[in-house]
Amino acid sequence: MPNDMTDAKVWLVTGAGRGLGIDIAQQALAAGHSVVATGRNPDAILQAVGAHENLLAVALDITDPKAATAAAQAAVKRFGRIDVLVNNAGNFYAGYFENISADQFRAQIETNFFGPLNVTRAVLPLMRARRSGQVITITSTAGLVGQEFVAAYAASKFALEGWMESLRFDLAPFDIKTMSVEPGFFRTELLVEGASTNWPELSVEDYAQRTHQTIEAWKGMNGQQGGDPAKLAAALVTLSDSGDLPLRFVAGADAMAAVEANLQAIQTQIDAHRDLSASLAFEPGK
């Protein structure tokens, strides 16, 4: 917990009206920080997070750049600055690639990728002016490891990973730190139909049986996930307060296992064709 007011930070958390966002806002408040909790419905945010003197609920659709700017301005008006940005808001368009309509795929990228870009664009000028800050972006294990039935979702999260890995170089001279967070399965609302999950609009017969089986299996997983979102939120506050953010935080035993297996598979693939790959150098005169 911060020792005094000089240690207290101002957090801006997107998607704070449900799921992990609620826990992040609550844990940051409990640690003595001020929180600008954003989402589509400020009243729902207040009800979910709970009234607190250091809480400001602000309406924000992350796909609207003007709304992102307005939210940042509201934060500055109330608390004077933004120290920690948590890009948490997102949704999930599940399905096999050919079953996901073009509009659904674009909507997935618009929310999960361009949404965080919109909010970060609005906040970074404030952080650069102070020469300090933290940008924390929630991606997913699916941002590092491709999985079945998540073609659109994985694409959006892989994009976030690439953006964040490169953004750190932009921001390092201004003492702004970045951290990507790759959770495994946590008991959030990600698999709740109509809340965060959207099923495929199209139906290709070759995928019909697998689609039905996968949807039923995933519906059965909701509420049974192994990760505790309150513990994840507390871990993020701990990492932020440490002042030494890792570039990545792979969150959960299942996430670590999946990423480690993928790293081993990539190394095996490199080794299998090492000589062929090394032979590709340009040789003058040949």
Q: What are the pLDDT digits (tens) for 35-69?
A: 999 999 999 999 999 999 999 999 999 999 999 99
Average pLDDT of 211-236? 82
Binned at pLDDT 50, 70 and 90, residue 1 comes out as very low
Contact 133, 172 (CB under 8 A): no
- The answer on pLDDT for 155 being more than 90 is yes
Q: Residue 33 and residue 48: Cα distance in Å, rounded?
A: 18
- The answer on pLDDT for 192 being more than 70 is no
pTM of the model: 0.93
* 217 burial type by CB count under 10 A (0-12 exposed, 13-18 middle, 19+ buried): exposed
- The answer on pLDDT for 233 being more than 70 is yes
Residues 237-257 pLDDT 10s: 999 999 889 999 999 999 999
Binned at pLDDT 50, 70 and 90, residue 283 comes out as confident
Mean per-residue pLDDT of the chain: 92
Percent of the chain residues past pLDDT 70, beyond the cut: 92
- The answer on pLDDT for 198 being more than 90 is no
pLDDT of amino acid 225: 62
**Sheet harboring 84-87: ordered strands across?**
55-59, 34-39, 10-13, 84-87, 133-138, 176-183, 248-251
- The answer on pLDDT for 194 being more than 60 is no
- The answer on pLDDT for 143 being more than 50 is yes
Residues 90-119 pLDDT 10s: 999 999 999 999 999 999 999 999 999 999
Binned at pLDDT 50, 70 and 90, residue 18 comes out as confident
Least confident of 71-75, 88-92, 227-231: 227-231
Identify whether 153 is a catalytic site residue.
yes
pLDDT of amino acid 5: 37
Query: 93, 96, 153, 207: which is the annotated catalytic residue?
Result: 153
Domains and CATH numbers, the chain: 10-278 (3.40.50.720)
Contact 80, 130 (CB under 8 A): no
Q: Residue 150 and residue 133: Cα distance in Å, rounded?
A: 32
- The answer on pLDDT for 189 being more than 80 is no
Percent of the chain residues past pLDDT 90, beyond the cut: 81
Q: Residue 206 and residue 203: Cα distance in Å, rounded?
A: 9
Two tokens, residue 246: 């890792």
- The answer on pLDDT for 2 being more than 60 is no
